[in-house]
Amino acid sequence: LELWLRQRQHMARGLPKQKPIAGVKEVIVVASGKGGVGKSTTAVNLALGLMANDQSKSVGLLDADVYGPSIPKLMNLKGNPELTDKNLMRPLVNFGIPCMSMGFLVEEVAPIVWRGLMVMSAIEKLIRQVDWGNLDYLVIDMPPGTGDVQLSITQNIPIAGAVIVSTPQDIALLDARRGAEMFRKVNVPVLGLVQNMSVFQCPKCSHQTHIFGSDGAKELAQTLGVEMLGDIPLHLNIRETSDKGQPVVVSSPDSPEVSESLTRKPRPSHNPKRGSITMAM
Ligand SMILES: Nc1ncnc2c1ncn2[C@@H]1O[C@H](COP(=O)(O)OP(=O)(O)OP(=O)(O)O)[C@@H](O)[C@H]1O
Ligand SMILES: [Mg+2]
Ligand SMILES: [Zn+2]
């Protein structure tokens, strides 16, 4: 026991100190192991869903993908952040959500070729040199993978929980599992899994096809002992609204592709229309 305690102390000393983000109550990261499974889409709609579900909550969105920022396009934002008199960047705001992304700071066409340390200091800036105001939730859209960037984000800021996104395909699930294990190792609670692109319904004949498999993420959630937070169909409207910068949660809140994504019954709400777009929380 003593040895174990000493090891624990040693480990605690070895870890960098977690410093809260000024003004931010809870940080939620949206992650996956594999790329292209729908993290950014989920992060955006989660942020909007959290706010729509309880309008008294303020929600921000941080794009931690400095190589391939998606938030400018998904949130229909561009331009350079202004500086406050304290020299902090003012987030750009759309749909009531303050956002920060590398995409606001560099030219769209410029190739970003950076080494690890530069990536980390860029992310530090995007997190801390920003006037977030007072936020109940900051949703972080993570880059794909379980490498140094993901690890150092989890070690540098206190994170309330991680949402893992996966398609039901074996290779995606394997990476999702790796992601979940990484978070557990650094003591970040895994809030649960979102299964994305499980079912495609033919718009002509309504026939359903499970392109990437049907229940893979559900089974993984069971294995890991975490919750299934949502099951999002592969739907043209989700892709089109994303590309237009009109996220589906705001542009078609009552559509089946939004309501069918819910595995949990929405909480009762004073505003029934709003109540139907609880997502993943
Ligand atoms: N349920 C869905 N139905 C239709 N299209 C989807 C769905 N989810 C995501 N997409 C589309 O798939 C593409 C990839 O999604 P997204 O950018 O959210 O993935 P990502 O995991 O963030 O990718 P990356 O690893 O590159 O950051 C986008 O074009 C998006 O619009
Ligand atoms: Mg992304
Ligand atoms: Zn058909």
Confidence of residue 7 (pLDDT cuts 50, 70, 90): low
Average pLDDT of the segment spanning 148-174:
93
Residue 179 near ligand 1, beta carbon < 6 Å:
no
Which atom of ligand 1 is nearest to 144's Cα? Answer: 25
Is residue 36 in contact with ligand 1, taking CB distance under 6 Å?
A: yes
Q: What percent of the chain has pLDDT over 90?
A: 69
Nearest to 145 by CA among 176, 115, 122: 176
Model-level pTM greater than 0.75?
A: yes
* Cα–Cα distance for residue pair 120/123, rounded to 1 Å: 5
Q: Which ligand 1 atom is at minimum distance from the Cα of 65?
A: 27
Tell me the CA–centroid distance for residue 40 and ligand 1, in Å. Answer: 7
User: Does the beta carbon of 37 lie inside 6 Å of ligand 1?
Assistant: yes
Q: From the CB of 38, is ligand 1 less than 6 Å away?
A: yes
Q: Using CA of residue 255, residue 136, residue 73, residue 35, what is the dihedral sign?
A: negative
For ligand 1, atom 26, name the residue with the nearest CA. Answer: 36
196 CB near ligand 1 (under 6 Å): yes
Cβ–ligand 1 distance for 234 under 6 Å, the answer yes
* CA terminus-to-terminus distance, the chain: 39
CA 202 to ligand 1 centroid distance, Å: 19
Q: Would you say residue 116 has pLDDT above 50?
A: yes
Residues 6+ away with beta carbon under 8 Å from 196 = 37, 38, 41, 42, 165, 166, 167, 232, 234
Average confidence score pLDDT of the chain = 87
Summarised one tens digit per residue, pLDDT across range 124-141 is: 999 999 999 999 999 999
C-alpha 40 – ligand 2 centre gap (Å) = 4
- 68 CB within 6 A, ligand 1: yes
Domains and CATH numbers, the chain: 23-275 (3.40.50.300)
CA distance 237 to 255: 9
